Every structure is written in C-alpha cells, then in structure tokens.
Structure 1
C-alpha cells in the first residue's frame, strides 16, 4: 500500500470503492492498515489505543479493510495454561494488503534476475544480491565502529526502516536479540530468488559482528522477517576456539 498525501493508493478496484469515502476517513484507514503491517497481528483495542480511536471507529475501519481483502482475522496463540474466555482476535495483513505496499517494478526485477540466472547461473544472482546489500554495509560500517555493541541492532533497525523495511529490535529471553522486519519491498522477488535473503542475512552478521540466524521470512509466507542475533559471547567463544 502506498500512501500519498495521507491516503491509500490501492489497486484500481479498491480505489473506486474508496472514492466515496471522505479524505479524513481514508487517511485514518491508511494509518490503521500501516500499523497492522508494521506491528504484526494486533487487536482492535491496541489499534484504538495507538491511534486514539473509539472502538466503533476502529471496527468501521477494520470492516472496510476486511471487505477490501487487505487484512484478515487471526486467533491469538495460547501460551501456557489457557485462561477463561475466548482468545483475543487479531488482525494481520494479507498478501493482497502487503502487495499494495510493495514498490513498483517487481515484475521487471524478477524478469531481470531470471535472465541473469539463465545466462550466467545462480552464482551470478548471488553476486548481484551481495552487491545490493553492499551499500548498506558500506554506509553503516563506520557508524557501527562508533556506537556501543548493545546499540548496534537498534542502529541497523533504524537504517532498515528508513529503507522501507519497517524494522524493530528487541531483546530475547536467552540473552540474545531479535530483528523483525514487518515489511519487505522485494518479498515477491525474494520468494523466487532466496539469494536476496541470504545476502541480507550475511550482511547483518557482518555489521553486528556476531552470528545471526534467519528464523522466518515474508518471502516464504511468514508474517514478518525474523532474525535471531546471538549474544556477543558466542562470537568470542568461537574466536577463542580457533
């Protein structure tokens, strides 16, 4: 979904349905959709709190987005012993909704990579993928040298968000960290060419200076791209064992 002056620029059919909606309503609906995209499956109550909307207003926007096929209802996973009552209903972005956010030229990029693979082989695609992320590495390497190690993932997440990946960083219970990318501008292309995800993961490890492991990707059908970042001592123990 692309936002222009506060509105949602969706496919033509959705745009025609939205033509009768007042501009203020379209702007709020765009904000609802973007929050669902960036923060993963969320409840209606959480959306209302973030946007300052009444339950009735949230429901109106959610119903419209559901009708357009932009979002879908999901059931919250139960952790530990189940409590009383029904599990909270969550709302997540659909493939159609995510594709509305996609940058243009997916088809052209896919065709170009297929041409490259056919003429020069898969390794040429891998080389191309590494060249694409090299700009990120070059840009952030000097910065990473200047910031404390415990701030590197935050810096990386902010850089990725600026590039359109809606990234966030968090701590894990095992002492490591987790990088989540709630949007992937090249998801459709990466689904056919995993070398793009592999090169990106390699770049993350290089920038953070510690082992990383990709746990999930939007390209493979997961809701978000999730990367586990090992604690610093994992790297130090590997180096001491050489």
Structure 2
C-alpha cells in the first residue's frame, strides 16, 4: 500500500497511511460502503473513492453488491468494499499472533474448557442477530436465510440444494489463521448453526484446514435430530 501521488504544486504526498486506515476500518467493521467509510474516517466522498479505487486495483479490496434484506427504492444497490485474502494477510501476523498467544495462555492457565467457553461467548451477539432473522421464516427457508444473515456479517455465504439437504459455503473466515491452532472456534460455529436450525450439521471443509471455503451440510429438517453438531474432520 506504500504509494505516493503528486500534488498540483509538484510535491509528493504519501497516501499509504490513509489507505492503511481505510483497510483497517474494513477489517474491524467488515464490508462497508464508501459513504460509511468516508463518515468514519472523516474523508470527502471524492477522497474515499480515490483510495478505494487504488486499493481495489492493487488487490487489497474487492467491490461487491450490497445484500439488502428490506425493500429498496429505485436505483442500483450500493457497493460494499471487502478485504481480499491478500488484503487480510497484511494484518494477519499482528492481530492473529496476539489472538493465538492469548488463547494459548488461556488454555495453559485455565484449561481447554476455558477456550471452548470463549469460543461460545464470542458468537453470542452474532447468534442473537441471526436468530432474529431465522425467526421470520419457516424451517425450509432457514438455510438460505442463515447464509444471507452470515453474508450481511461479512462471511460471504451461499447455499445450494442437494439430494439430502442444503450445502452452505462460507467464502470468508475472519478467524481462519487462529482456528488453525484452535479448532474450538470452528466447533462453536457449527454448534451455533445446529442450535439456530434445530438440526444436526456436518462440516465438510474449512478454510482453517486449508480448504478454499468453509462447507457445511445442512440436512433436510425431517431427516435430522435436533441440536447436535458434528465436528470437523481435519
């Protein structure tokens, strides 16, 4: 991100600190619109779009169509900007190293149960938001509604029907590097899916184990037993 531009007077201005702030804001908040980022970083619309265009061109960000649940007026949906894997990798060493060290300390001083408790606790707010969305639809519509709710949270989830249920893919995982060493994070997420859907679920692949996407099988409701999540097979 270390680039500079010339001002009208000929002086070179280093824009890389501002672009780093833009990327970090998206890291914290998830996919964001240009309007949201301009307001948070106190930048003009022209300035934020210039920085976003540069970050997209260099591969740090990607632009996506915003998913909107409620009815919209006329006009195209606003674009949201999200970190690419390459963009997220610029932050992985600092943030992930601290998280891994903290969880390792927790495991060594308190035990594995404390790590599992933490993994459950960090999902509490997400579980509440997703549960509200799922309460508005019937059992057969809940897998798709779950994917939509997760996408709104930055997980870029999608679903496809299979002969025995639904396959859900999450194309982004904000804790993948940490989950490589602490699979409790993946297990807690799968348990949350089972609780929200009232079915057992089966993890088929995870980004944390080196797969391209996190893939979860969600069986048809009539073919399931409630509230049991099968663990990931490394």
> Match for 1:212 among 179, 185, 201?
201
Gaps of 5+ in 2: 2-17, 25-49, 64-83, 228-234
Secondary structure of 2:215's match? Answer: strand
Whole-angstrom distance in 1 between the partners of 2:61 and 2:159: 21
Secondary structure of 1:178's match? Answer: strand
Whole-angstrom distance in 1 between the partners of 2:122 and 2:221: 27
Could you state the TM-score of these two structures normalised by the residue count of structure 2? 0.59
Kept in 1, the 8 Å contact 2:130–2:150? The answer is: no
Paired residues, what number?
Answer: 167
RMSD of aligned residue pairs (Cα, Å): 3.6
Kept in 1, the 8 Å contact 2:107–2:114? The answer is: yes
Q: Structure 1 144/98 Cα, relative in aligned 2: closer, same or farther at 3 Å?
A: same
Partner of 1:113: 103
Kept in 2, the 8 Å contact 1:102–1:185? The answer is: no
Structure showing the higher helix proportion among its residues: 1
Q: Give the structure, 1 or 2, with the largest relative contact order (CA under 8 Å, sep 6 or more).
A: 1
Alignment of 1:126-137 (within 5 A): 126-137=116-127
Could you state the TM-score of these two structures normalised by the residue count of structure 1? 0.58
Whole-angstrom distance in 2 between the partners of 1:152 and 1:161: 14
Whole-angstrom distance in 1 between the partners of 2:58 and 2:200: 37
Whole-angstrom distance in 2 between the partners of 1:103 and 1:162: 26
Q: Which moved more, 1:127-136 or 1:157-166?
A: 157-166
